[in-house]
Amino acid sequence: MKVVGISRFGISILTVLCTAASIVSALEVRVQEQPAPPPLKIVTRQDRMQLDEEKDSKAHVRLALALAEAHLTNAELQTSRLNYDDAAAETGKYSALIEDLFVFLSKLKLDSNKTRDLYKRVELTLRAHGPRLNIMRRSTPAAYAVWLKETEDFARQGRTEALNSFYGNTVVRDRPSPEQRPGRSTVQTNAVPPEKKP
C-alpha cells in the first residue's frame, strides 16, 4: 500500500514539474517573439545646426550624406560590439537624416540639371548603404532585425525616389485608344477580315 501511495505522490510531483517547465518555456518563447521598441527617428541638434549653416544646396546634400554615413558607421560598430540598443539609435538618426534630405530636395527646382545631379549623388550613396544595412540585419537578433529591415526598405525606396526624379514630366505613359477596352486583346494581326456577303 505504501509503495502505491509513494508512486502516486511521485507522479503528481513529476506532473507539476513538467507543467511548470512547459509554462516557463512558453514564456521564454513569447519574450523572444516581441520586437525591440522602434528606434527614434530624430535629427540631433548638432546635426541640425550644421545643416542649417549650409546655404548652398550641393554642400547641404554632401553634409547630410556625410552625417548619415557617420551614423551608419556608428551603427555598424555598435552592432559588432553587440550593443543593439545603441545600434538601433544610430540607425534611427540615419533614417531621420535621409528623410530630412528628401524633404530638402523636394523644395528644389526639379527641372534643373543641378537638382538631378544631387539626386544622383543621393542614389549612389544609398546604393552603397544597402548591402551594409543588410549585413547588419543578418548579424542582429530578430527583435532588432525588424527595424533594420524597415530601414533597409526605406533606403531602397529612397533610391527609387531619387531615380524617379530623373524622369519628371518627360515620360509620357501610353494611354489606351478608344477601341481598346478592358478585357479585349490588344494584339494586332495582319489577317484580312472576311468580306461581308450581301
For the cut 50, the answer to whether the pLDDT of residue 56 exceeds it is yes
Q: Is residue 111 part of a domain?
A: yes
Q: Does 139 map to a domain?
A: yes
According to the model, what pLDDT value does residue 24 have?
A: 67
Residue of 190, 168, 145, 184 lying closest to 39 (CA atoms): 145
77 in a domain, yes or no? Answer: yes
Please write the tens of the pLDDT for every residue from 2-31. 444 557 766 777 676 777 677 766 665 454
Task: Give the Cα separation of 146 and 121 in Å (integer).
Answer: 28
Total tally of structural domains belonging to the chain: 1
Q: Mean of the per-residue pLDDT values for the chain?
A: 76
Residue 126: closest CA among 161, 93, 92: 161
* % the chain with pLDDT above 70: 70
Q: Is residue 15 part of a domain?
A: no
pLDDT digits (tens, 9 = 90+) for 74-91: 988 988 888 888 888 899
Please indicate, yes or no, if residue 34 is contained in any of the structural domains: no
Distance CA(72)–CA(78), nearest Å, equals 10
Q: Tell me whether residue 117 is in a domain.
A: yes
Q: Look at residue 148 and tell me if it is in a domain.
A: yes
Q: Which structural domain range is residue 98 located in?
A: 45-164
Q: Provide the pLDDT confidence category of residue 64 given band limits of 50, 70 and 90.
A: very high
State yes or no: pLDDT of 180 exceeds 50: no
> 17 versus 160: which is more confidently predicted?
160
The pTM of the full predicted model, rounded to 2 decimals, is 0.65
- Say how many CA atoms lie within 13 Å of 76 toward its Cβ: 13
31 occurs within a structural domain: no
Q: pLDDT of 104-152, one tens digit each?
A: 888 888 777 788 888 888 888 888 888 888 888 888 888 888 888 888 8
Asked if the model's pLDDT at residue 37 lies above 80, the reply is no
